[in-house]
Structure 1
């Protein structure tokens, strides 16, 4: 008599339910391996989706032009007129700029040793900088026409943390360039211009008056020069602006201008975040292999313990194929339980972590489906030898142990 698939599953479940603790421990290894695989793929996909969504929100039409180096290796400078020239391009919507003031350092108090700079930099900044680089103010206010001419500073997010500020209060000051500057605000983290996070930002007129950041252009002293241009181009014409940005910013020496698109670097980072996935996936595979060995071991022990059951079933007319199918189905059911538990644990950990980081929750189909398929395949492989061993037992040999 041929057993139906439902009957085969019911018979297999009896063997699992009869030894619940052993079955649970055997399925645990499979569950750990599957959970690791699902969680790694899920968290990687969620992280990449979150970063790409942030890139879309910030816009992919931001270009930067930095002063590079001359052919001789000396540090180059952008012309003072560079922002105005770039702003005249038809496809350019906005231009902001900053200038690093290398001689000025920022400290919490004048009592801090000069060498303890905390890797912070002082920069002069144009008033439209937050709007162009798509950032905002976490505390206080940004510079305006009045404060940009006075000893007033806005701190980047990392700079504020390193200086020990978590909020802005009236009268708060930092020691900047050998004198006190009042803290007006703290910026939010700037994804597209991470150099601003470690900067103390002042107005160009304040940099000219208090920090000697001045140059001569057309026979007159002017604040500057800028060191980095932040350019918002029309989205459909970004490539066109990028191709002429260096020549426009510095017509005399376009080779001394480094042009980049910050969103490209972020997209590359999103792809690189999956570079270490193979390591964790490998650990998940190792856990699956260990689980498979455990299942195979348990099934072999089960065959030895149930010799009398095998003999009795054979004596009552069960075929070798049915005995083989019973133990193979039992092994698959065992690993399937572990696989389902592992998928649930992996999905749950992905949801919890992604929500805590405000990411979109993404669990690829290949993650959970692959986990279930892997569990079934492992069960079939792990249970094959014990099933064949059980099927080879003759009724008389098996019943001797009764």
Structure 2
């Protein structure tokens, strides 16, 4: 009231808005939890999809940065009659002559199987491929031996074998020094490789020295795959001449590929799948928003006497709208905060289990919270407008 006796409508401060907005939430805690849960599930689904995808891509990007994108592979294709072609025995030496080539190595397929011991039935091969390998293979692939040692000029002549990470697990070989039954001979395990992102076929292989394969396993000396490292600016140039250099007599029977391109394609596939899962998360969030809107409509109907009393005491329509809009925003904000925590926890748990770094993009967190507030504003708009248009007398008469 002013000095002239005129009534002046009171204004709601920010604290008043929060207080009246939380009044309805405090009186119906179970309904609030269930409504917020729908929003939380939607936000958690979206954030975990983004976080898990970002964590996996971060690990892949680090691997590509470490290994480089200048790796090319050369493999035999098919003959003009549909048969299997083969690379010449001198393919490695010929490719090494290309100027921009920095390193080249090779493996060759061997017709043999490896078993944990000589009592395993012949058919139980565990899908482990036996490959002859050159001693410079880790250099070409930036590979790393997880335990033990790689083949050298001495051990590559004797019955020694290095197991890929998957092959070691399938054979239940955890430490070097054990023996395995390979091609009717006992071979000593000299090392176990760490996983190789750009040469995944080696993870499930048993690798023996080139000369060992020729001496003990009947290897014919023809490589089945060449791994070529070139100078970064000259990758495409080297790629264009590799087929003709590796097999001058039949360049059309040679396949040249770039493993990093396959990884990029896999990443694009992962992004497509992530987009699909994000869409499902958005649907869950929409359902949660509808639940919030339903909760607010019911709240308006149940609180008609309160609305009538507040209107009778001088509250304006705008203040009534603001009260219920604030209540809707607080309800969805509660669900959004819970969803962010849940989504971050899911991302952290999954990334840790996979051995990845935990990456939760800040834009996903801020975008998720902003989206919840938008959902809250849209969900609470109609109930707020309906509450503000309710005549005081009609509201007070409601039971």
Partner of 1:176: 182
Identify unmatched segments of 5+ residues in structure 2. Answer: 1-8
- Residue of structure 2 in register with 1:229 after alignment: 226
Q: How does 1:2-401 map to 2 (within 5 A)?
A: 3-4=11-12, 6=14, 7-101=16-110, 103-169=111-177, 172-214=178-220, 224-401=221-398
Gaps of 5+ in 1: 215-223
| CA distance in 2 between partners of 1:285 and 1:261 (Å) | 37
**Mean CA deviation greater in 230-239 or 370-379:** 370-379
The runs of 4+ residues in structure 1 deviating greater than 6 Å are none
Q: CA deviation at 1:331?
A: 0.9
For the 8 Å contact 2:12–2:319, the answer to whether it is kept is no
Quote the offset at 1:296 in angstroms. Answer: 2.1
Superposed displacement of residue 5, structure 1: 6.1
Tell me the distance in 1 between the aligned counterparts of 2:268 and 2:197: 16
User: Partners of 1:122 and 1:304 in 2: how far apart?
Assistant: 75
Is the CA contact (8 Å cut-off) linking 1:52 and 1:270 kept in structure 2?
A: no
Deviation at 1:109, TM superposition (A): 2.4
- 2-structure distance, mates of 1:39, 1:291: 17
CA deviation vs aligned residue, 1:34-84 (integer Å, no higher than 9, x gap): 111111112111211221111111111111111111111111111111111
- Between 1:286-295 and 1:253-262, the stretch displaced more is 286-295
SS at 2:203's partner residue? helix
What SS class does the counterpart of residue 272 from structure 2 fall into? coil
Whole-Å Cα distance in 2 between the matches of residues 207 and 64 of structure 1? 22
Higher mean C-alpha deviation, range 251-260 or range 278-287 = 278-287
User: How far apart, CA to CA, are the structure 2 residues paired with 1:104 and 1:349?
Assistant: 44
- Once the two structures are TM-superposed, the CA of residue 162 in structure 1 deviates from its matched residue by 1.2
Over the aligned positions, Cα root-mean-square deviation in angstroms equals 2.0
Instruction: Check 1:2–1:69 CA distance in 2 against 1; reply closer, same or farther (3 A cut).
Output: farther
What CA distance in whole angstroms lies between the structure 2 residues aligned with 1:140 and 1:49? 29
